[in-house]
Amino acid sequence: MNKKCILIIGGARSGKSRFALELAAGSDKPVLFVATATAGDDEMKQRIERHQKERPADWSTLEVTTDVSNHIRKEIGRSRTVVLDCVTLLLNNIFNDCSYQTGPQNEAVIEEKVAREVNSLIECIRDTDASFIIVTNEIGLGLVPADRVSRLYRDLLGKVNQTLARCADEVYLMVAGLPVRVTPPNPTS
């Protein structure tokens, strides 16, 4: 796989992470797996442990909640494929870091932090000599959330997903475990 950026988007349990792992394993290049999940309870701790066991032992793992691009730059080493799993939790971590209170002033702070995080990630993708496989959720297909915080989260994630899709070479929508390529193939790749 030549250097490229691949965005994998889909609903919960649609097979996004599994597909990302398959793509990374198929690259035959050293992999840095960037995990953004935190173990807030026992069930989540078990999920994280299951995911850790699914990854090849020779992959490097970076567990980070925010500021992912700076951490990637410091830890990339000889890795030439980076898997970021996932943007959805990264955004959630930013919300948690802001100890969110409703109100336009705090919303502006969150929006600014999200924009800074995403812009920094895009710079890292462009400047790093590695392919990126980025996992994110599509949460905008359902009902409009009932509360202001949830609507802000949904709206910001939608904007982030659009931004990442524009800079990606390939975008896949996962449906029932099947990858559906959303972007047309690039004739030069």
Q: CATH number of the domain that 52 lies in?
A: 3.40.50.300
Question: Does residue 188 fall inside a structural domain?
Answer: no
Is pLDDT above 90 for 111?
yes
Question: What's the sign of the alpha-carbon dihedral 176, 182, 185, 186?
Answer: negative
Other CB atoms within a 10 A radius of the CB of residue 22 amount to: 12
CA distance 42 to 101: 27
Assess if residue 12 is contained within a domain: yes
Take residue 74 and report the two structure tokens written for it: 């410091």
Answer whether residue 187 is part of any domain: no
- Looking at residue 104, its pLDDT comes to 62
Structural domain of 113: 5-181
Q: What is the pLDDT of residues 51-81, one digit of tens each?
A: 888 899 999 999 999 999 999 999 999 999 9
For 117-161, write each residue's pLDDT tens digit.
999 999 999 999 999 999 999 998 888 888 888 999 999 999 999
Catalytic: which of 3, 18, 29, 51?
A: 51
- To the query of whether residue 51 is one of the catalytic residues in this protein, the response is yes
185 pLDDT above the threshold of 90? no
pLDDT at 39: 85
On the question of pLDDT at 166 being above 70, the answer is: yes
pLDDT of residue 20: 97
pLDDT in the model for residue 181: 96
pLDDT surpassing 80 at residue 48 = yes
Q: What Rg, from alpha-carbon coordinates, does the chain have?
A: 16
End-to-end CA distance of the chain: 9
Structural domain includes residue 189: no
